[in-house]
Amino acid sequence: MSVQYSIITRKNLQKPNDPPKFYAIAKSRGEITLRELAKDISATSTVAVGDVLAVLEGFISQVPKHISNGNIVRLGEFGTFSLSISSEGAATEEEFHAGLIKSNSLNFRPGKEVQDSLDAVKYKKVI
């Protein structure tokens, strides 16, 4: 299998007089639901679909809780989830306050097995 992509043009907003450039964007082949994922996991193990769903639902409820408490969530060979924040600057450390923090985002760093799979991806242009 390969990842399909198409080509789009984008202008450089920092340099509006420059000609636009062409970039690739990944095209989705579809989605997989939590239930479909549970069925796939069940088919390759001795665990029933309902039990897999229960564990996945527990996972979905627990990971955000731990991340919002400032923890890094390490999922073995799968990868690591962590929180990063973005803030405005202050002239001195004493002038900095939490109100200068403007946003946060979730980071994912893939484990070796996931990264190896990503490194092996082949690409196919679609029209």
CA distance 81 to 64: 10
Task: For residue 8, name the pLDDT band (cuts at 50, 70, 90).
Answer: very high
Give the model's pLDDT for residue 123: 96
Give tens-digit pLDDT for 34-92.
Answer: 999 999 999 999 999 999 999 999 999 999 999 999 999 999 999 999 999 999 999 99
Give the model's pLDDT for residue 10: 94
Full-model pTM: 0.75
Instruction: Please say if the pLDDT value at position 1 is more than 90.
Output: no
Give the model's pLDDT for residue 9: 95
CA distance 43 to 49: 8
Give the model's pLDDT for residue 127: 81
Helix (H, G, I), strand (E, B) or coil at 68: helix
Give tens-digit pLDDT for 82-119.
Answer: 999 999 999 999 999 999 999 999 999 999 999 999 99
Amino acid at 9: T
Give the model's pLDDT for residue 70: 94
